[in-house]
């Protein structure tokens, strides 16, 4: 028998508003770290006595990883847009063009939710 947890719309909205930017920034951080790694790998390859194409396979795999991270960023932007639409549909955030889960006004008054 599992335990069912319940959460209010305003609490869920606040959690998502806090966690979504963290997830977006983590993808940026991963892409920046991989770019720094790429730079170090290319610089190491220029050292004396290192063959020109040393580490080419590793560089290609890292480039593939970077492409995957960029695709993940695109997907995260789609998640953001979808959550924004859901938040507006259920009146959990203000229906303003510039509003998003991280800076949209939370609608915490339950009477507003019922009257919508």
Does residue 108 sit in helix, strand or coil? coil
Residues paired with 93 in a beta bridge: 106
CA torsion angle 80 13 22 96 (round to 10): 50
Residue 115: what pLDDT?
Answer: 44
Residue 28 has pLDDT above 70, yes or no: yes
Average pLDDT, the chain: 86
Residue 77: what pLDDT?
Answer: 96
Q: Average pLDDT, stretch 11-15?
A: 94
Residue 111: what pLDDT?
Answer: 41
Q: For residues 60 and 66, what is the distance between their CA atoms, to the nearest angstrom?
A: 10
Q: For residues 50 and 30, what is the distance between their CA atoms, to the nearest angstrom?
A: 28
Residue 94: what pLDDT?
Answer: 81
Question: Closest Cα to residue 104, out of 11, 12, 26, 14?
Answer: 14
Give the residue extent of every domain in the chain. 9-115
This prediction has a pTM of 0.73
């Amino acid at each position: 028998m599992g335990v069912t947890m319940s959460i209010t719309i305003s609490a869920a909205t606040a959690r998502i508003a806090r966690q979504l930017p963290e997830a977006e920034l983590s993808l940026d951080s991963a892409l920046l770290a991989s770019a720094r790694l790429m730079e170090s790998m290319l610089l190491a390859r220029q050292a004396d006595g290192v063959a020109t194409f040393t580490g080419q396979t590793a560089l290609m795999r890292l480039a593939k990883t970077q492409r995957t991270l960029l695709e993940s960023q695109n997907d995260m932007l789609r998640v953001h847009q979808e959550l924004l639409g859901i938040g507006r549909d259920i009146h959990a955030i203000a229906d303003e063009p510039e509003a998003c889960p991280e800076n949209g006004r939370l609608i915490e008054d339950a009477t507003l939710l019922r009257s919508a």
